[in-house]
Amino acid sequence: MDVDTRLLRYFAAVAAEGNLTRAAERLFVSQPALTKQIKQLESQLGVRLFTRSRAGMTPTAAGQALAERVPAVLAGFDQALREAKSAASRAARVLRVGFLAGAANEATQQIIAAFTRHRPGWQVEMRASSWLDPTAGLASGDTDAALLRLPFPGQEALRTQVLFTEPRWVALPATHPLAGRDPISFRDLWDEPFVAAPAETGWWRDWWLAAGEREGHPVRIGAVTETGQPDDWLTAIANGHGVALAPQSAARYYARPGITYRPVTGISPSQVGVAWPPDADTNPVICDFVRCCLDNRPPQSPENRT
């Protein structure tokens, strides 16, 4: 019997969390979609895997037996997949570097230049990712290393090094009453509608809404950018659907008519880091790239250092 590994990943997340909502957030899928996939797996196997109750999802005897085996199976499959893709990349002398919007910065070109000087004949292939893939291809083995905003879901399973810290600003419609204020207190934004990432992104979305820095004040959602692409996010703001927190550098990378960026006080900063799989610690090419990232970090102003 052939079982889709995606179904096994969904099963493993539900078994580990014991709760459909938390598992759905961890997997970046909707709860109804996750429920459907679990039922599909049960149908394929011909056994009931969970007992459902108000308290959560409890594995049956069959579910417990599967839960004890699946993590090792998935880990072995993932490693084999990464090694195969990495071998192909090494044969082509290409280093695949994923990134999320804004994490590749002014130092990226210097990093790539330093790497290619150190590794003549190698090329760096930059691969953009959306919010819906917070590891920028590392989890799937589609990239060898990544430049990412910290923190991000899945970070605990990877190696990371901080490259720089910068303040979080706010992006507003140019006609917004607060657009002329510099800086803006975060408290003055609490009642504003926010443009948010999809609910499936869980705590990562909450972090960019600064949900934990509002002293219990509820977040108002004005629009959701389902694709996780910067253009959709910017369009929603320019059209007046809401405001959004953004790194300071967004004012340079994503300047456009109709949008104003302003500093915000009373809120924690954002960090950019380089990330790579733990099993790549012995890969000299990836280690060289990480070293080039650390050696070519952009200078930090005193107020941005942590």
| Residue-range domain boundaries for the chain | 5-77, 93-165+271-304, 168-268
The pLDDT, as a whole number, for residue 88 is 67
Split at pLDDT 50, 70, 90, the class of 302 is very low
Report the DSSP beta bridge partners of residue 263. 169
Q: Which of 249, 282, 291, 235 is nearest to 115 (CA)?
A: 291
**Is the per-residue pLDDT at 304 higher than 60?**
no
Rounded Cα distance between 280 and 278, Å, is: 5
Contact by Cβ (8 Å): 297, 102: no
The pLDDT, as a whole number, for residue 90 is 63
Give the CATH superfamily of 168-268: Periplasmic binding protein-like II (3.40.190.10)
Contact by Cβ (8 Å): 176, 188: no
Of 160-174, 221-235, 274-288, highest mean pLDDT: 160-174
On average, the pLDDT of the chain sits at 87
Mean pLDDT of 46-66: 89
* 5-77 and 168-268 in the same fold: no
Sequence-separated contacts (24+) of 201-208 with Cβ below 8 Å: 201/25, 201/28, 201/131, 201/132, 201/134, 201/153, 201/228, 202/25, 202/26, 202/28, 202/153, 203/25, 203/153, 204/131, 204/134, 204/151, 204/152, 204/153, 207/151, 208/244, 208/245
Considering only residues 213 and 81, tell me which one the structure prediction assigns the higher pLDDT.
Answer: 213
The pLDDT, as a whole number, for residue 198 is 81
Which of the residue ranges 79-93, 145-159, 254-268, 270-284 would you say has the lowest mean pLDDT?
Answer: 79-93
**Is the per-residue pLDDT at 289 higher than 80?**
yes
| 140, two tokens | 């799937």
Rounded Cα distance between 10 and 2, Å, is: 16
DSSP letter (8 states) at residue 161: E
**Is the per-residue pLDDT at 89 higher than 70?**
no
| 293, two tokens | 């990232």
Mean pLDDT of 282-300: 89
Which of the residue ranges 21-30, 87-96, 261-270, 280-289 would you say has the lowest mean pLDDT?
Answer: 87-96
Maximum Cα interatomic distance, the chain, rounded to a whole number of Å: 63
**Is the per-residue pLDDT at 112 higher than 90?**
yes
The pLDDT, as a whole number, for residue 254 is 87
Task: Please name the fold of domain 5-77.
Answer: Arc Repressor Mutant, subunit A (1.10.10)
Amino acid identity of residue 237, one-letter, is I
Cis preceding linkage at 134, omega within 30 = no
φ, ψ for residue 242, nearest 5 deg: 165, 180
Contact by Cβ (8 Å): 196, 223: yes
Task: Please name the fold of domain 93-165+271-304.
Answer: D-Maltodextrin-Binding Protein; domain 2 (3.40.190)
Q: Where are the alpha helices (DSSP H) in 93-179?
A: 108-118
The pLDDT, as a whole number, for residue 9 is 87
**Is the per-residue pLDDT at 300 higher than 60?**
yes
